[in-house]
Structure 1
Amino acid sequence: MDGRRLYLVMVGIGRACLLVAVLTAVSLSPARADVTIGIAGPMGGSFADVGRDIKAGVEIAVAAANARGGINGEKIRTVSVDDKCEAETGAAVANQLIGKGVKAVIGHACTAAALPAARVYAGGGVLFLSTAATNPRLTDEKVGAGVFRMAIRSDREARAIADYLGKRFKGKRVAFVHDGSVYGQGLAEQAAKLFADDGGAVAMTEAFTPGEKSQNNLIGKIQDAAVSAVVAGALQADAAVIAGEMRTRGLNAALIGNEALALAEFKALAGDAAEGTVFFLPFVDKTRPEAVNLILSLEERQLMPTDTVFTAHAATEAAIAALAKGGDLAGAAAFLRKSGAATVLGKVTFDGKGDWREASYAPQVWRGDAFAPLP
């Protein structure tokens, strides 16, 4: 073989070896894969607005994180499911999300869906931050170290209501009514107990049948009790019926309720009877500098900057930071409890149970077609 042919052969062998080396290196290197975050909530029905706002908050936070490089260089993608605010559906969609390989889930606004879903995520090693489930059981039962609540426990809501009553209705009679649900009954009865313990006058505590077109019997009892205020543990449709029939009978008692009364459906159903209705929401400071970009993104989507959007966005930021810093579920959970995360709502940390430390309630009131913080 002459020198030129030998040279060409050697070059060919060298290139082949280089190609094999490159392919071997690629095959042995860990492949980068997207980090998937699940979005769960009521995407239809009476609570569709809540599901829409959760989805928007998560997606905007994910887009911002991806613009910064994702999680340790890996892009983040989202997948959403409709839990219908139902227990059976909540568990089913939680299993679906685990099957899709999610590392974290944001959402499950309704306690009915959040409780069974939390057990599924705990068993699957998935980080879970609920944005609105308020029943104490979600964190009290300690189903898993990775279960967190980016909302406020309902027992703290009862305390806020009792404090408000003590300031505004001291020495006056107050009625407490509820729909018999775990949430509604628990809230009304706890608020009544705290109000009574503080020296307040509890005129009555009464259950009603939810879903009725009229609450005539209940309104009659309220009228006979001669109260100055009515605290209702009820969803928006039932609260609207109560508000409307109270006004029809000429009752001037103030109506005080929970966060369901913030939904547009309550105002639409109650109409003018919604005027002056007081309810409690988590305090969300939308004036922080971090809020500017979120508000601009919401304007592009033609969405309102609701509290739900802000808490979902903050929960997503916390989950992303935890996954980036903590690695596995245990590390992510420890990060949220010890270090906390910088979010649109400021630094967010969680206590040993998984409850949001910085959370607090603020009274809101319906005035015209919108509600605003109560001065």
Structure 2
Amino acid sequence: MMLKPVRLALFLLSLLLNLAAARADILIGAAAPLSGPNAALGEQLRRGVQKAVDDINATGGIRGEKLAVDFADDGCDPRKAIDVATGFVSAGVKAVIGHYCSGASIPASKVYQKAGILQISPASTNPKFTDEGGWNVVRLVPRDDAQAGAAAALVVDRFPGRKVAILSDQSPGFTALAARFAMALQQKGVTPALQQAFKAGTKDFAPLARQVAESGAGVVYLAGSYVEGGLIAQALRAAGSQAQIISGDSLVTEDYGNQAKAAAEGTLSSFTFDARKFPSAQGLVQRFRDADQNPEGFTLYAYAAVQALAAAAEATGTLDSTRLAEWLRGGNRFDTVVGPLSFDARGDLTAPAIAWFKWVDGRYVEVDARTLAPPLLDTTP
């Protein structure tokens, strides 16, 4: 009989401890394409976010509270992204890291804005994300207009006189990137010889490659995923076109090389600088490599997105999204694995930087935009 009160007390104590632990967790959401043709890119975001959460928790969390993360697959689909966002709101997340694709980030941002939730994207580049977004959006990458402008300048400076073909996936993000590039070209006095859209999931690009070859294009600007990008590169070479392939950041992944194989050689892609080379990232890069993982592409920027959330929470002493967004968009500078960052009043980087990568001997390396040559001593991990 005497054991019953003891057991009850222990049960109640356990329950209270579990409730306290549940309350101590700061739940955040992370959304990316974890399946489908963009799954490899979504995995970069997932991997970076999870590592950042683990590392922050290992050092005591945010103001003594541990982070918990709920991952969701939006498939880069606008309608699915809204469903994911609605689910995050119902789950009570304090902030969202993501989405990856602009076509998912933009509609989801409206759901988060209404619910009062901060959204930090490490990958969405469409200008509309911040130009037409609410108070709650921040991004860690250069906008499409910056990448498109840099690409147009590269074409005019490095490939003068060549005809240009523009090929784009029909998705909103890639359509917008292609349109920005076309506009930037025309501002420099160059009219594209061919502008053609294609449907994601297409397998046979021989007809499109013939169109490019017949147009006489010496440069192809490709706004699409690494999956279709690889198939298009192969089709172009099979059609006899030796046009220089130029793209945005979607082809800066080993998966493009795996898909395009030898046809990837020479492809030029714009992206922000390879954070794996930054002194601030060396310890983390080594830990990824020790786990047999390559923190390429957006991995370290996803990690930095969680650091941005933590920096804002520590600085403001709150997890109120309105105050977090105000602090982040107030130009405050803070350190991350990708170096010091700060954002302007729209949520864009105050100092965006564009780098160029070139596929050489089966891998992509950072190159000098003036010469398009790799450095004499390549330190790409």
CA contact (8 A) 2:220 2:244 kept: yes
Distance in 1 between residues matched to 2:233 and 2:278, nearest whole Å: 35
State whether structure 2 residue 116 is matched by structure 1 residue 125: yes
* Number of residue-to-residue matches in the alignment: 348
Q: 1:168 aligns with which of 158, 170, 179?
A: 158
SS of 1:342 mapped into structure 2: coil
Distance in 2 between residues matched to 1:181 and 1:85, nearest whole Å: 9
Cα displacement string for residues 133-182 of structure 1 (whole angstroms, at most 9, x for unaligned residues) = 11111111133x12111222112111011111122112222222223332
SS of 1:135 mapped into structure 2: coil
1:183 is aligned to 173
Does the C-alpha gap of structure 1 residues 241 and 39 become closer, same or farther in structure 2, counting only changes over 3 Å?
same
1:63 is aligned to 54
State the percentage of identical aligned residues: 33
Distance in 1 between residues matched to 2:149 and 2:197, nearest whole Å: 20
> Could you tell which deviates more after superposition, 199-208 or 363-372?
199-208
SS of 2:38 mapped into structure 1: helix
SS of 1:148 mapped into structure 2: strand
Distance in 2 between residues matched to 1:67 and 1:361, nearest whole Å: 33
Q: 2:326 aligns with which of 308, 318, 334?
A: 334
Matches within 5 A, 1:335-354: 335-338=327-330, 339-354=332-347
- Bigger radius of gyration among the two: 1
Q: Which runs of 5+ in 1 are unaligned?
A: 1-22
Amino acid at match of 2:53: V
Structure 1 position 201, deviation (Å): 5.3
CA contact (8 A) 1:85 1:112 kept: yes
Matches within 5 A, 1:227-306: 227-306=217-296
Structure 1 position 242, deviation (Å): 2.2
Distance in 2 between residues matched to 1:268 and 1:285, nearest whole Å: 22
Amino acid at match of 2:336: T
Q: Which runs of 5+ in 2 are unaligned?
A: 1-12, 369-381
Cα displacement string for residues 280-305 of structure 1 (whole angstroms, at most 9, x for unaligned residues) = 11224433332123113212332102
Length-normalised TM-score, structure 2: 0.84
2:186 is aligned to 196
1:111 is aligned to 102
CA contact (8 A) 1:135 1:183 kept: yes
Structure 1 position 76, deviation (Å): 1.6
Length-normalised TM-score, structure 1: 0.86
Structure 1 position 320, deviation (Å): 0.9
Structure 1 position 336, deviation (Å): 0.9
Distance in 2 between residues matched to 1:114 and 1:201, nearest whole Å: 31
Q: 1:148 aligns with which of 107, 123, 138?
A: 138
* TM-align CA RMSD: 2.3
Amino acid at match of 1:295: V
Does the C-alpha gap of structure 1 residues 211 and 203 become closer, same or farther in structure 2, counting only changes over 3 Å?
same
Distance in 2 between residues matched to 1:96 and 1:240, nearest whole Å: 34
Matches within 5 A, 1:14-29: none
State whether structure 2 residue 197 is matched by structure 1 residue 207: yes
Distance in 2 between residues matched to 1:209 and 1:123, nearest whole Å: 32
Structure 1 position 210, deviation (Å): 4.4
